[in-house]
Amino acid sequence: MAGNFNHQSTADDVLEGINLQDKRVLVTGGASGIGAETVRAMAAKGAEVIIAARNQLQAEEVQAAAVAATGNQNISIVSLDLASLVKVDAAAREFLQRFDRLDVLINNAGVMACPFDKTVDGFELQFGSNHLGHFYLTKLLMPALLNAGSARVVALTSMAHRMSPVVFDDLQYERREYEKWQAYGQSKTANALFAVGLSARYANQGVEAFSVHPGAIATPLGRHLSDAEIQQLINANQTSANNPEAAEGGIKTVAQGAATSCYAATAAELAGRGGAYLEDCQIAQVVADDPNFRGGVRDYAIDPSHADQLWSISEELIGQ
């Protein structure tokens, strides 16, 4: 149960005693970081796992390592580039041709605090990849999720959602100056709102979604950050109030970082709680905008009306 887990829990801790042999799991960004650990942990419990990733070579390395570590041969790869709607469509088509159902979709891939850039389709890169690419992929895979009878979608968000709500009148930074952390924050708020919107539309058909803040983890996600920026993040984690991780510098291991994703994907006690924002393997409390308070979720990131507005705009942007 949730009470047994905390910020130090690992993916293996969360999955102890759980049998996933009849489950099929797709992990975006499964070729590195906490995505790769999520692949291994799920495979160790018998799940059939599909790694969806842009880098084929890295995906093959993770596949081979997971097979060697778990003995589970049922790990495959689908090529996915979230910065192109055409390539997202191709990935979904490949999946649907090969598989009839999907029990768990973990939207783990992401880009963080990058210089200003645009996707192939002209969207601001962080919003376009982190939110719209996953939004489109999930919509396309919905037939397979519905076929599972009872399925879960896990959307990786971040405590960085506090850096910005979704700015509906300028999503693409066409009228305001680009700021990389604000843009990342907007995309992470969108990830949380996506879980709210999806659950509102599909929970009664057996598909629930949860958003997950994995914690601060040193992974390739931080490749756009300087050493000084990384140290600044560590310092901020150490000095935040109510921070049980401060003694460890606020940084989780990769195994700890994958824990909440695995919890969201499998915990029986979460049934019926779709749309919830999770951190440290539990539902987070809603907190006011207090920069000294670590953790929790801002109310704007789980607001049903904002989720509806984002859903409608996202459908327009992807042309659906």
* pLDDT (tens digit per residue) in 191-238: 999 999 999 999 999 999 999 999 988 755 455 456 665 555 555 544
Q: What is the pLDDT of residue 251?
A: 83
In a domain, 297, yes or no: yes
**What mean pLDDT is reported for the chain?**
91
DSSP state of 170: G
pLDDT digits (tens, 9 = 90+) for 36-78: 999 999 999 999 999 999 999 999 999 999 999 999 999 999 9
Q: What is the pLDDT of residue 179?
A: 96
In a domain, 245, yes or no: no
Can you give the CATH number for the domain in which 271 is found? 3.40.50.720
In a domain, 125, yes or no: yes
Question: What pLDDT band is residue 320 in, cutting at 50, 70 and 90?
Answer: confident
The residue written with tokens 């009878």 in the block is: 149
Domain that holds residue 12: 2-217+254-317
In a domain, 292, yes or no: yes
In one-letter notation, the amino acid at residue 131 is H
In a domain, 151, yes or no: yes
In a domain, 242, yes or no: no
In a domain, 43, yes or no: yes
Number of domains in the chain: 1
Beta strands in the chain (DSSP E): 24-28, 48-53, 75-79, 104-107, 151-156, 207-213, 216-217, 251-252, 277-279, 282-283
In one-letter notation, the amino acid at residue 230 is I
Q: Quick one: average pLDDT of 105-117?
A: 96
pLDDT higher than threshold 70 for residue 148: yes
Q: Is 53 exposed, middle or buried (0-12, 13-18, 19+ CB in 10 A)?
A: buried
pLDDT higher than threshold 60 for residue 109: yes
Q: What is the pLDDT of residue 104?
A: 99
Alpha carbons 154 and 298: distance in angstroms, whole number: 19
In a domain, 112, yes or no: yes
Give the β-pairing of 216-217 and 207-213. unpaired
Alpha carbons 81 and 132: distance in angstroms, whole number: 12
Report in angstroms the alpha-carbon separations of 144 from 42, 104, 137, 257.
19, 10, 12, 27
Whether 184 is catalytic is: yes
The catalytic residue among 136, 184, 202, 277 is 184
Contact 123, 132 (CB under 8 A): yes
